[in-house]
Structure 1
Amino acid sequence: MARCKPSLLLGFTVLWTIISPCNAFPSGAPASACETMLPGHTGVQPQMAPAPYEFLVSTPSFLNGQPINVQILGSAYRGLLLEARSFGSTAVLGHWQTPPNDTKLLQCSGNPQGAITHSNTNIKTRQTTYTWLPPNSGCPKVITFVATVAQSHDVYWTNMRSKVIWRSE
């Protein structure tokens, strides 16, 4: 029966730790998270308690092509995936304008500006404002903002939803 030397086993373990993929995304959510809103933090599940965050949306209604400001209210957070969707759909709508510091655009549903995500784990606060533009035409009558917000790698809430926003006629 062959035996491994402890030093060989330790060396293999260290090498495996270095080369094995890590499913944490400190530089932003992967495009694979666009539909499910799940960040893919290995071994960690979303929080089941109600999220300590809420949306502040600059208007209760919108016009095609008119910008809407969105803020996430609550304690500081490090990670984010933010989308606008037709009520009841997982496809993103419109596009996000230039993202604030420590965030970036993410291609979702084939739209290069379809979502906003974190670009690092620096703190984001309630003063961080994200600006969304509805499509110039063809936008549904009702939209909602959907987010996953992470306080840390291990503490996050998924599928948070804003109140619905109605298109003005």
Structure 2
Amino acid sequence: MCGSGVLLLVLVGGNALLGTVAYPHGAVTEACSAMVPKHGGSTSGTNSAPYKVISNSSIYSDGDEITVTLQADSTAFRGFLLQAREVGGSKPVGTFTVTGGEAQLLTCDGLAGSAVSHTSKQDKTTITATWKAPTDGNPKSIVFSCGVSGAASRVNPGQARAKPT
């Protein structure tokens, strides 16, 4: 394990983004840059997102794996898009793996497995994915960004931030 580490802080966002096209099966790379699942009829979200982004570790080094969980508070969600990015950056960092049938991997910015999305419009309360850090010898501050749309077609952004310790 390298000496450099990253501290993860969980933040759930306030302002929502608008979606314009419905993609009930989630595999849409157009959503990668804006981090919005893109469901039709979406309206501005509430000031607090009805879900949490949780990780099982507060630090990481090259090649480490972190389990990232998207968990509903009281309202189920339908569409979601999860991605790790360098803080202040717009390109994905690291790759994910998923198990089960409710989540699938996307290729964003040419990096296979760099995002996780839904496979159906069915209600969900928990999604878990495993993120693998790059092995380039230079861990950076990252953000697990997540956009979610719920049963009421509201899109609420959330983030789990990571910064070096």
- Same fold (TM > 0.5): yes
Alignment partner, residue 21 of structure 2: 23
Alignment partner, residue 81 of structure 2: 81
Deviation beyond 4 Å, 4+ runs, structure 1: none
Aligned residue among 35, 58, 61 for 1:60: 58
Alignment partner, residue 30 of structure 2: 32
Task: Give the aligned residue type for 1:97.
Answer: T
Q: Kindly indicate which of the two structures has a greater share of residues assigned to helix.
A: 1
Instruction: Indicate if the aligned counterparts of 2:26 and 2:37 stay in contact, CA closer than 8 A.
Output: no
Whose relative contact order is higher, 1 or 2, with alpha carbons under 8 Å and at least 6 apart?
2
Alignment partner, residue 104 of structure 1: 104
Structure 1: gaps of 5 or more residues: 1-21
Whole-Å separation in 1 of the counterparts to 2:122 and 2:39: 18
Structure 1 residue 130: Cα displacement: 0.8
* Cα gap change, 1:122 to 1:165, in 2 (>3 Å): farther
Alignment partner, residue 49 of structure 1: 47
Computed over aligned residues only, the root mean square deviation of the Cα atoms, in angstroms, reads 2.1
Whole-Å separation in 1 of the counterparts to 2:25 and 2:143: 25
Higher Rg: 1
* Cα gap change, 1:125 to 1:39, in 2 (>3 Å): closer
Tell whether 2:135 aligns with 1:136. yes
Which stretch shifts more, 135-144 or 77-86?
Answer: 135-144
TM-score by length of 1: 0.76
In structure 2, the residue corresponding to 1:162 is in which secondary structure? strand
Instruction: Indicate if the aligned counterparts of 1:84 and 1:146 stay in contact, CA closer than 8 A.
Output: yes
Structure 2: gaps of 5 or more residues: 1-19
TM-score by length of 2: 0.77
Between the two proteins, what is the percent identity of the paired residues?
31
* Cα gap change, 1:112 to 1:153, in 2 (>3 Å): farther
Q: Cα deviations across residues 56-79 of structure 1 (Å, max 9, x unaligned)?
A: 111111011111001112232211
Q: Kindly indicate which of the two structures has a greater share of residues assigned to strand.
A: 2
Aligned residues: 144
Whole-Å separation in 1 of the counterparts to 2:88 and 2:137: 17
